Every structure is written in structure tokens, then in C-alpha cells.
Amino acid sequence: AQTVTQSQPEMSVQEAETVTLSCTYDTSESDYYLFWYKQPPSRQMILVIRQEAYKQQNATENRFSVNFQKAAKSFSLKISDSQLGDAAMYFCAYKGNAGNMLTFGGGTRLMVKP
């Protein structure tokens, strides 16, 4: 079974600075998908970014980018120019190529200091 580990229960960053959230996963599959979801205090689950394992190029979405290291099974999220609205729980998630189940990490709570 796949497992996803987020080793940082909490992180803090100064507004306008950069922060990186870590995620590692374990799988025997070669083709899969990785996601980062944001959960603000409103509890909504908001997709931040996704990465296909067959793509070598790291995904980027505006201030959000990933560092995908397939051999190391690592999928970190970098947030540049952090804003107060970025404060939330962040979840890393894995999905295999066959099926739809998402396997989530335990989450990282990000605090942004003004």
C-alpha cells in the first residue's frame, strides 16, 4: 500500500518570504499523480498544484512550485512571496494511475507572520 509522509507538522514563514513544505511517499508503481491541497480555516479542500510522475518538468502555478524527485520519492511544495492568505493546512496526496483513491499525508500547518 502507498504511504505519504509529511514530516513537518507545523511551519512558519515571514510574509513575502519563501517556504518549502516537505512530502515523501512510498510506492511500487511507476506511473502516478501527486497533488498538494490547501485547507484554510473554512475547511474547504482547495487544489494547489499537481504533478504527473511521467513528467520530468516540475509543475508551477504562479507563486507555487514543486520539486519533484522521482527516484527519491520526494514531492516538496515551495511557496514564494508568502501572503497572509497562504496560512492554512497543506496536504500532500498520491493517486495511482489505476483507480481514484487519494492517499494523504498527515498535513502541515503553515503560519504566515506579518
Partner 1 sequence: EAQVTQNPRYLITVTGKKLTVTCSQNMNHEYMSWYRQDPGLGLRQIYYSMNVEVTDKGDVPEGYKVSRKEKRNFPLILESPSPNQTSLYFCASSPGQGRQPQHFGDGTRLSIL
The Cβ of residue 81 has, within 10 Å, a number of other Cβ atoms equal to: 11
Question: Which residue type, as a one-letter code, is found at position 22?
Answer: S
Q: Does 97 bind partner 1 (CB under 8 A)?
A: yes
Where helices occur in 43-90 by DSSP H, the ranges are: none
Q: Which region among 10-18, 67-75, 76-84, 101-109 touches partner 1 (by CB under 8 A)?
A: 101-109
DSSP state letters, 32-59 = EEEEEEEE-TT---EEEEEEETT--SPP
Nearest distance from C-beta of residue 17 to partner 1, angstroms:
26
Interface pick for partner 1 out of 28, 56, 71, 98 (rule CB under 8 A): 98
Q: Does 62 bind partner 1 (CB under 8 A)?
A: no
59: cell is 509543475
Interaction site with partner 1 (CB under 8 A): 4, 6, 9, 33, 35, 42-45, 47, 50, 52, 91, 93, 97-107
